[in-house]
Amino acid sequence: MELLGLFLNSFVIGFSGAVMPGPVLAVDIAETPRHGWKTGPVISLGHAISEIAVVIFLAVAVAVLTDNPVVTRVIASVGGVALLLMAGMMTYDTLRSRISYEAGSADLGSRAKLAGKGITTTLVNPYWYIWWATIGLALLVRAKEFGIAGPAVFYVGHILSDLVWYTAVSVTIWKGRKLLAGPRLKFLILICAAFLVYLGVKFMYDGLTGAVNWDLYNAAP
């Protein structure tokens, strides 16, 4: 996997998760009318702070875990299953029109600053932990080929996807345009879901058959 490929995979997978309604997005939508288009970037900063510690911890853990090829194959397989499940839920919710971007769904009781809300809404989301324990860990295993550069590129791609999406949402709401409703939103989510299916199948294949050259990963500095 080239560094550019790692970056693009990280960005698209992160973007696929960002577009699905969740606590961070809810706060982004709810706070934009009060704080303006800068809400998205500031919320993303808080979200990024929450994730940098996780990336560092998992990157160190991966250096130990990948000494055992059985462990790496299990990680790839579980990560693949998680991607397929995420794609399935995204597709189901989209086709059943269960996706809503109502601003009223956010909790406005907290007086914390926007960056603090980005951290808080990230840490209280149980699905965030599941994502990092499965999909995120699987991607970091594959990024180990590039040593320190791999996790760094993965992190930048992942955070950039959040920054792009949350900023786009804030700018759109701030300008009063309804560009995220109807068929456009459904099409975007279905494209992301299809990409997750592709990566999920590939991860499962690599894990179950041992197609990945794990010795190459273990030999990386």
Q: Where are the alpha helices (DSSP H) in the chain?
A: 3-18, 23-35, 39-65, 69-95, 114-123, 126-131, 137-143, 149-175, 183-209, 214-219
Longest dimension (CA), the chain: 53
CB 82 within 8 A of CB 201: no
Alpha carbons 118 and 100: distance in angstroms, whole number? 20
Burial bucket for residue 178 (CB in 10 Å: 0-12, 13-18, 19+): exposed
Task: Give the pLDDT confidence of 119-148 residue by residue, as tens digits.
Answer: 877 876 656 776 787 788 788 777 877 877
Per the confidence metrics, is the pTM higher than 0.75?
no
- The stretches in the chain having pLDDT less than 70 are 1, 21, 33-34, 59-69, 72, 98-113, 124-127, 130, 176-182, 185, 188, 211-221
Q: Which two tokens stand for residue 211?
A: 């197609």
> At how many degrees (to 10) do helices 183-209 and 69-95 cross?
160
Alpha carbons 20 and 18: distance in angstroms, whole number? 5
Q: What pLDDT is attached to residue 220?
A: 34
Q: What pLDDT is attached to residue 106?
A: 45
What sign for the dihedral angle of Cα 149, 157, 113, 110? negative
Q: 118 CB contacts (<8 Å, ≥6 apart)?
A: 24, 27, 42, 43, 44, 45, 46, 47, 48, 49, 50
Task: Give the pLDDT confidence of 150-182 residue by residue, as tens digits.
Answer: 888 888 999 999 999 999 988 887 776 566 566
Q: Which residue has the tokens 């194959």?
A: 73
Alpha carbons 56 and 122: distance in angstroms, whole number? 17
CB 81 within 8 A of CB 133: no
Q: What pLDDT is attached to residue 218?
A: 38
Q: What pLDDT is attached to residue 160?
A: 93
Q: What pLDDT is attached to residue 210?
A: 72
CA nearest to 43, candidates 124, 132, 116:
116
Domain chopping of the chain, boundaries: 3-219
